[in-house]
Each structure stands twice: as C-alpha cells, then as structure tokens.
Amino acid sequence: MPRSPSSSKTPSPRPRPGSGPSRARRRAAVLVLALAATASLTVPAAATHPRPPVKQPVATGYGGAVSTVDPDASRTALEVLRQGGNAMDAAVAAGATLGVTEPYVAAIGGGGYLTYYDAKTRRVHAIDGREFAPKRMGPDAFLDPATGAPLPFDQAVTSGLGVGVPGTLAQWDLGLRRFGTRDLDDLLRPAIRIADRGFVVDQEFHDQTAANAARFRDIVPTRELFLPDGKPPAVGSVFRNPDLADTYRQVAKRGTDWFYEGRLGKEIVRTVARPPVDPSSTRNVRPGLMTRDDLDAYRALVREPTHVAYRGMDVYGMPPSSSGGATVGEALNILGNFRLDRRDPVTALHYYLEASKLAYADRARYLGDADKVNVPLAELLAPGFARERACLIKPNEAAVAPVAPGSPDGVYEPCVPPGTQTRALAFEGPQTTHLVVADRWGDVAAYTISIEQFGGSGITVPGRGFLLNNQLTDFSFQPPPPGSPPDPNLPGPRKRPRSSMAPTLVLKDGSPRLALGTPGGSTIITTVLQILINRLDLGMTLPAALTAPRATQRNTPQVFAEQAFIDAYGRELAARGHRLDPFPGPPTGVIGAATALEILRPGLVQAVAEPTRRGGGSALVVRPVE
C-alpha cells in the first residue's frame, strides 16, 4: 500500500516547465545511467577519482538556493532546481545524496523532520518522518531483566533494541506526493551515480569512521563496508558504496513499498532480530523487537506546525514528537517580554540562557509523542504562560539550575516561586545533519535528517550499504520513581521518541524570510534559538549569526559553551551567576553545524553554511549575484 495515507487527496503538483520525458523513458534513462556507472568501476582509478570538493559557506543570488554540509549534496539540489524541480524535489535529492556522502548521520535506515512553505497556498506544513518503536516495546524495554537497572548506554546504542522503524523513505514519498514535481526514481539518480563513482574522503569522514572503528569491527557487514583493509579510509582516498547504489536502484524501480512491505523490509527485520555480529566478538549486541508488521504499519505524517509571533515575525517549527518547535517557541515567547539591545549583548545573552533554562524544564516535564501522551502544546506556547515564566528571570542574577517546570494550566499568575526539582536531562545524540532549499517560485524547505549517533546502531543491513538508526535510545530508559510526575518520553508500542530536531521557518507578512536548522542533539534547540536572537535582536547578518560563538543552557547547573564564547562573555556572565564550562562534545568544543538561508528581497536569496564547524558546509545559488 502507498506510504502516503492521504495520496487520494493529494492536490495536483505545480506544472513542470516544458514537456518532460515519460516515466518509461525516465526509467530507461536510469537503467542506462546505472549500466554506465557500473562499467566505470572497471576504469583505472586515476581516471575516475573526483577532485576534492571546494566548500563555499555563503552564496547570494537568484533562481533558488541550497545549503547543506556537503558539496555533492548541495550540487545535487542545485541541479534539480536548475532543471525545474522545486524545493521539495531538491530537498529529497539532497537527502538521498547525503545518505551516500554522510552515511553516519543520514541514511534510509533513519528518519527526520521537514518543515515546508508552499508558495501556492502560502502555508507552512510539517512532515514527520520520525521513527517509531515496535509494537512489542514497553516502558521497561531498556531495563536489564537480570538486575532491573537501565542498560549501559553503549549497549543500548549498538543493538537491535535501539533500532526504530525507519521513516526516511516514507517521508520522501509523502513529501513528493503532496508537494513535489518529480518522481523519486528521477531524484535518486545523482545519489546512485555518486555511490558508484565514489567521493573523496575528507578529515571529517575519516574521524567519524575512526571514532566508530571498535564497534564497526564487531559487526561483519559494517566492517566490510566502512573499514576497508581493516582500517578507516584514508583522507584523500575515494570511498565507493556499490551496495547502496544498487539499493537505491531497486527503490527507484520497485517503489518505497519494497522497503516497507517487500524483500528489503524482510532483510531489515532479520538484521534487527539477529544482528550480524562477528562470532569472535565479545560485544553484547542485543536483538531488537521489530517485526514485518511494524514496517507495514509505519506512516509518515503531515502535521500542523508550531507557531509563535516574535518581533513582528511568525516563527514556525516542528510539533511533537519533536520538542524543537515547542521549546524554541516557548523560549521566544519568554524573550518577547524583554528588550534585547544589540549594544548590550551580555544582558541579551543572559536572558537567552535564562529563557532556555525555563523552556527546557518544561520540555522534560511535558513533551513527548502527542499521539501517545497528552501534551499541553497550546498552553506551553500561550503568551500568558510565557509571562508567568518570564517573571522568574532576574536581570542581573542567574537562577540556580535545575529549575522546576511551570504549570501550563491556562490560569496564570503574575509570578510563581522558583523551584529546584526537575527531571535530569536525558542523553540525545548530536549526530544529525540539516539542509535548507528555496526555489524560484518561493517554496522553502528546512529538513533535518538523522540516524541518531555517528554511525547509528553500527548495524549495516548486509549487502544493502546503509546503517540502521539507534533512535529509540532517545526514549527515557527508566520510569520515574513512585510518586513522581509521569514521564512523557518512556518507550511504548509504535511510539515516536522525543527529539530536539528543529527545522525552522520564519515568515514576515506571510512570506518566507528565514529558514534554518542544525544537528546537535539536545543543543539543536539552543543553537536555533541563538541564531534567531543573533539575527533578529542583535542585528547580525545571517553569516555572522551562524559564525558567532555558541553556548547552550539546557537546565543544567553549568552553561556549556565554545571556547570563543567563554573568552568573549565568560567573565561578565559569571558575574551574574552563570557557570560556564567548555562544551564536552562530541565533537569536543563544537556546538552544532547549522545551515540557513534568508530571503533578502523577492527572488534574491542568501544561502549560508558553517565556515569551519565540523569541516564547514556548502552554500550554492542557481544564479549568483555578480
């Protein structure tokens, strides 16, 4: 059955410019391209090695724009835009390419969230491709049955138990059915070509492989794919993934149901139930609970985005199961009660840190999968609740963290007493990636993709060229003690684990102004929030807003920050009671790796990527300003 639950109600896509080739001709072209790519593997290596890509962090121009972490992915999206595809088409094509070049953070074995502005209807939509838990998973799934204690985190990560039912392909299918103008088989072509041809290994890819080498060696197909000759690929070498190229070809030919209902789904379930561990390994890789019925039951969903007003702008984000839109929105509502002066950045940052602290307390207490638990989303984003929380902030003194959650009950007092008890911050892996795309018609996509940890579960589906996620480790591992408030993020059947992913769109007078997002686990929210404050309150250009040093306050006793932030603001913020420590990572000392774009005026777009964090990113436009 089709992955889109509403395909019968799908509006007709925007007409394509010109008369494109028929589906049969396009499929024939895919076959010819595939045969040519396969033949190229027999050509001497020196003749086929691509040159190391050049990354450009800022591009300004017309006709559409893209920013990703990877030049190949950005070029793929740009080519789709040049050929008349729209922002959804380009986002999917870029995501497929990232599955090749960034396999440890983006893969069809994972999921993600996408916010999309449809210029035709002038509406923002949120497409939820988050993985969900198997039907057999209960609240004690991550407790050791022998001891009753939570499993060690590394054992939960590298296991079938942590693998959620993947959502990426269903999300692509739904997004293209609702908003795209190209077929998935067309959009997979560039990724197939790159997987066959190979890409140049950079330092980031090498380091991510090296960080995973010990566990990768214990999983036979993962070792064979990612540790050629028993070690991480050398910087400057060419990495090829013909297995993934063939998997993409089969998806192009057979459709996404081959993944969810067909042979590939059967292989995924078998891999999760019996992880292919080297018999000589001593690693305890637990089996998972996924069944064929779980794959068949999965659906990506179109949801109503979160929305708050801030400084005359409309800020849209991802609703639960992600906590990103709600927590960014609540923090902005709190900050809206204060004047942030660009001439006094220390005070502005103090308010930013305090608002984050309060919003994270509420996130831990109330946010989870709204399909499974009661989430008071409207009240969390109510101006009255924000005023009640804002009254706890002192202009010259940081509150002692952790602070208690508020009461989003619809009855708001001028002030409530500060508390000191809250749930501990749950671990959430920072290994994700984000991309943004705008097209010539004014459509805009902000898309965050993840398999959770760098390398996900570490388990590769044999012969298929992609890793499976460990997203279920985003659940809380242990139920709260008796008498404590309920935890909305405990595991449950077909439940989506809470995420911090925050693909964000900002509109002015109904038209897109900004699109942004970042990887970073639970620091995603603070990174998006800080970039918005930098741009909207402190008057920075968008490139400066991304480059500025970062700090993250997630209702913990200390503020974790990049060293440049500590050097610039540490002494003055410490005088107000903030305890600043270097961000421990991973990666050490680096918070996030954002991509963003800004509509400078109708038709003129500036795409922005990181210049240095995680090796920098790649921003491109169709027609650059000369």
The Cα–Cα gap between 156 and 139 comes to 14
Q: Are 389 and 358 within 8 A, CB to CB?
A: yes
Which one of 60, 247, 432, 595 is the catalytic residue? 432
Q: Which two tokens stand for residue 590?
A: 């680096």
The packing angle between helices 524-536 and 345-366, to 10°, is 140
Q: Is 622 helix (H, G, I), strand (E, B) or coil?
A: strand
Whether residue 586 is preceded by a cis peptide bond, meaning omega within 30 degrees of 0, is yes
Q: Is 455 helix (H, G, I), strand (E, B) or coil?
A: coil
Which helix H or strand E contains 534, and what residues bound it? helix 524-536
**CB within 8 A of 97, min separation 6: which ones?**
70, 72, 73, 76, 190, 191, 194
Q: How would DSSP label each residue in 302-343?
A: EEPPEEEEETTEEEEEPPTTBSHHHHHHHHHHHHTTS---TT
The Cα–Cα gap between 273 and 403 comes to 41
556 among known catalytic residues:
no
585: nearest Cα among 541, 556, 552: 552
**CB within 8 A of 197, min separation 6: which ones?**
37, 40, 48, 50, 240
The Cα–Cα gap between 297 and 119 comes to 32
Q: Which two tokens stand for residue 552?
A: 């993250």
Which single residue is written with the structure tokens 């003749």?
Answer: 47
Triad 217, 221, 225: Cα angle to 5°: 80
476 is in an annotated binding site: no
Q: Which two tokens stand for residue 426?
A: 């749950």
Q: Are 458 and 209 within 8 A, CB to CB?
A: no
215: nearest Cα among 273, 162, 271, 284: 284
474 is in an annotated binding site: yes
**CB within 8 A of 346, min separation 6: which ones?**
569, 572, 573
Which helix H or strand E contains 33, and what residues bound it? helix 23-40
254 is in an annotated binding site: no
Q: How far is CA 589 from the centre of its chain?
A: 20
Which helix H or strand E contains 373, and what residues bound it? none
Q: Is 210 helix (H, G, I), strand (E, B) or coil?
A: helix
By annotation, the residues acting in catalysis are: 432
Residues contributing to the annotated binding site: 130, 474, 499-500, 521
Residues contributing to the annotated binding site for L-glutamate: 130, 474, 499-500, 521
